[in-house]
Amino acid sequence: MTLDPRDRKAVALQLSREPRAIRAVAHRCGCGLPDVVETSPRLEDGTPFPTLYYLTCPRAASLIGTLESSGLMKQMTERLADDPELQAKYDAAAEDYIARRDAHGVLENVPAQGGMPTRVKCLHVLVAHALAAGEGVNPFGDEALALLEDWSRKGPCVDPDDPDALPHKKTRS
């Protein structure tokens, strides 16, 4: 599957590196640029890459990071123990995530990401899943989205049409 060159450049600028294993744009923000991409279950070299939906917009990622640092994930996880209906919805979200990922290649014994279904570990993954799959699929992704301001209100986070805009190379630690 090929990605439109403009979208690939936008994602590279958003991530400040070349993207890996992208299959498609899974969601676009209000400015029209990708904010979530769908990735293959394996990198080009065969290494497992279980994050099916990857949040790419730096503004959205920053807003979600603020939610994560507020203690929201701990509160959400605690609610799972007290609310069987919520746990059932979160179980279904995990099943949906794995089914969508497995449709592109099965990763044996690799759970859903974001902590699903036993805890809330990464709101970035849960929000990306909610944006890509639509409202009602991931309860905690939906809740987090309801708490966020519109990250596109300031306009595009990057300009993929700028011929001089190049992603900065990040080194891996």
pTM, two decimal places: 0.93
Under 8 Å between Cβ of 15 and 168: no
Q: How confident is the prediction along the chain (173 residues), in pLDDT tens digits per residue?
A: 568 999 999 999 999 999 999 999 999 999 999 999 999 999 999 999 999 999 999 999 999 999 999 999 999 999 999 999 999 999 999 999 999 999 999 999 999 999 999 999 999 999 999 999 999 999 999 999 999 999 999 999 999 999 888 776 554 43
CA dist 115 and 138 (Å) reads 12
